[in-house]
Amino acid sequence: MKLDVERARAETPGTDHVIHLNNAGAALPPRPVLDAVISHLELEARIGGYEAAAQASAKIERTYDAIASLINCGRDEVAIVENATVGWDMAFYSLPFGPGDRIVTAMSEYSSNFIPYLQVAKRTGAVIEVVPNDAHGQLDVAALANMVRPDPAGRTVKLISITHIPTNGGLVNPAAAVGRIARAHGIPYLLDACQTVGQMPVDVQEIGCDMLSATGRKFLRAPRGTGFLHVRKSLLERLEPPMLDNHAATWVSADRYELRPDARRFENWESNVAAQIGLGVAVDYALGWGLDAIWERVAELAESLRRRIAALPGHTIRDLGEVRCGIVTFTAPRPAAEIKRDLAARGINVSVTAAPSTRLDMDARGLTEMVRASVHYYNTEEEIGRLVEALAGRD
Ligand SMILES: *Cc1c(COP(=O)(O)O)cnc(C)c1O
């Protein structure tokens, strides 16, 4: 069934004010999310923060169930954290690495993941290996299948860690094919799904990942400062988070603590309760539209945008991959920052993606920066037309 765009826009106050094509940065929240956050803040102000949390406990717990439905996992396999990076770090830094341990990643890897690989490699002597791209510009599955065998020195792969959809383009990496390889070899698999959740269906059983990190504010349309981490039960029981507090663990006797049995061992005590409730409402809101319907609309709008930008003289679409998502990147004869500024003056939001965010990919392609226009299901062909006219200097 086609998504009711008119209703989506009526429920999104921001669409009255801007042409928002920075959904990969932070999407516009829908009215129910906004209402949920504000009403909880008001409750806190009225009766006290702890008392408000106690009263709203069902709503807070609902967020775990909503996320579990969204990605098809158990509610005890979900940690709610303040952003995707914290979730990802908690998972990654829980894994033990030693000299020669191989960490396998891909060309499109995100800065905030690659920097930790470099740090852990420096500290422990682990080595980072990068799967090359295939002819489509996505992770080469056949190359990965070769790499996961022990190398000539007998060193094994301790982790496969990749980004599903990079921050800098339409590429959708073949995450499930990677999962089949990880499973077959019993290698832990960490997936950065920050740009994925909310724009397309994500099923961790189908993908076969053991850990998945995501953020709230991007395609999920949740408040800023929210994110979550999924860790598969069989793995989580063996992982000790790098930092603990009295929420992740209990101080049971003078010289001993016990970790929580569930994924909340990756959380800590204090959090923005209003935002957590808002995250749950945003997930339920996305589920209400249906991720298949959202994905169909997003993919269609993005392809239309690519066709129209590609037809502009001097503009080059830079998106890689066999499957392309709602993130559209391009270069033009003018600096990206100048384009962004000119569009902003016309009430059109886009962003600039620069080499340090995805260094391996950008360096390999000789790119220093691109304009990123990311669509969501509440955007329209008319808005896309306005962007294209502005780029062409015809408005
Ligand atoms: C935005 C982004 C992140 C970081 O998410 P935060 O919520 O800001 O921590 C991680 N990975 C990718 C691919 C991203 O685009």
Query: Which residue from 372, 377, 376 is spatially nearest to 357, judged by alpha carbons?
Result: 372
So what's the pLDDT on residue 2? 85
Atom in ligand 1 nearest the alpha carbon of residue 87: 9
Please tell me the distance between residue 211's alpha carbon and the centre of ligand 1 in angstroms.
15
Most ligand 1 atoms within 8 A of CB, residue of 139, 190, 195, 196 to mutate:
195
Atom in ligand 1 nearest the alpha carbon of residue 83: 7
Domain parsing of the chain, residue ranges: 5-21+290-392, 37-288
**The tokens of 274 are what?**
């209003």
Residues flanking ligand 1, CB < 6 Å: 83-85, 110, 112, 163, 166-167, 192, 194-195, 215, 227
So what's the pLDDT on residue 31? 98
Atom in ligand 1 nearest the alpha carbon of residue 166: 13
- What residue owns the CA closest to ligand 1's atom 2? 194
Sign of CA dihedral 30, 33, 36, 39: negative
Query: How many residues belong to the chain?
Result: 395
Atom in ligand 1 nearest the alpha carbon of residue 216: 7
What CATH architecture does domain 37-288 belong to? Answer: 3-Layer(aba) Sandwich (3.40)
Most ligand 1 atoms within 8 A of CB, residue of 115, 191, 215, 374 to mutate:
215
Provide the CATH number for the domain formed by 5-21+290-392 in this structure.
Answer: 3.90.1150.10
Q: Give average pLDDT by consecutive 10-residue segment, the chain, 395 residues.
A: 93 98 98 98 98 98 98 98 98 97 98 98 98 98 96 93 98 98 98 98 98 98 98 96 98 98 98 98 98 98 98 97 98 97 98 98 98 98 98 89
So what's the pLDDT on residue 1? 66
Answer yes or no: are the C-beta atoms of 39 and 52 closer than 8 Å: no
**The tokens of 378 are what?**
């509440």
DSSP code, position 10: H
- 175-183 long-range contacts (CB < 8 A, ≥24 apart) are 175/207, 175/209, 176/206, 176/207, 176/208, 177/141, 178/139, 178/141, 178/144, 178/208, 179/206, 179/207, 179/208, 179/209, 180/208, 181/141, 181/144, 181/145, 181/148, 182/148, 182/208, 182/209, 182/210, 183/208
